[in-house]
Amino acid sequence: MPRDAPAPPFRHQRADGAFELGFAPSPRGTVLRHLFQQAPLRVLFPDPEPGEPPTAALLNCAGGLAGGDALRQSVRLEPGARATLCTAAAEKIYRSLGPEARIGTHLSLGAEAVLEWLPQETILFDGARMARRMEVELAEGARLLAVEMLVFGRAAAGERMRTGSVLDSWRLRGPGGLLWADALAFDDPASALDAPFGFGGAGATAMLLLAAPEAEAMRDRLREADAAATLPRPGLLLARWLGGASTVRRAVGAAIAAVRGAALGRPARLPRLWTT
């Protein structure tokens, strides 16, 4: 290329990451039966602490997602299997020059299976564009504890999400069909996040979903801890938080520990990945 020729335009190399996990019961407990992973996603399997089921640590080796990146995530538990999935760190969605960062997740739980889906927070940089879709299938007697947390800007740097867009969609199905559907969507963060009847200036939001017979008892317990907790239907608990990023994270962490101990028979503590 001649020395005075203009530099070629920068082109973002889009990431197309994926993982598939399959767990099944065995005489020695739940074991991993299927694993597929595609960069930049990696799945690590730290030794579980006493009283804990097999734990998968989800890691994005790229450090975050830019516009046009896509992640595909799939977890299947055979009947009676038990597992916990966490992220190794917060996920970051960087400012986009146009395209969305897309995240698609599918969770399938067989009869009497128990899954904890407990990623740490997703941080939306100013200008980020994210489209995230969660699909869950529950067989008879399956139990699910799922958490998602969004932080609107890099709180430690004093950044606030003012531009960009968010679509965060959930579909939960049981043996009889659709149990619950929800979606958060906005493309004008400055207005949506500041609106008094929207997010009211909150820097973060989080959601906890519990599908288990103990849902009603846990609703009352979380309300005592100042969570906005409801029962969309019997056996299904939905709790939400709004506030500063650190405040919401602490509240969600306390709720996870309480629900694990009371509804799932797990130690009443956060998974180790949340505290290291």
- What is the residue-averaged pLDDT of the chain? 93
According to the model, what pLDDT value does residue 10 have? Answer: 46
CA-CA distances (angstroms) from residue 191 to 157, 162, 194? 21, 8, 5
User: If we measure between CA atoms, which residue out of 264, 256, 262, 263 comes closest to residue 272?
Assistant: 256
Distance, CA of 130 to CA of 186 (rounded, Å): 10
**What percent of the chain is predicted at pLDDT more than 70?**
95
Check: CB of residue 25 under 8 Å from CB of residue 2.
no
Q: What is the pLDDT of residues 228-241, one digit of tens each?
A: 999 999 999 999 99
Q: How confident is the model at residue 15 (pLDDT cuts 50, 70, 90)?
A: confident
Count Cα neighbours of 229 within 13 Å in the Cβ-side half-sphere.
Answer: 22
Is 50 exceeded by the pLDDT of residue 6? yes
Task: Say how far apart CA 157 and CA 148 lie, in whole Å.
Answer: 22
pLDDT at 151 over 70: yes
- What pLDDT, on the 0 to 100 scale, is given for residue 13? 60
> Residue 254 in contact with residue 270, Cβ under 8 Å?
no
Bridge-based pairing of strands 177-186 and 165-174 is antiparallel
Mean pLDDT of 239-244: 96
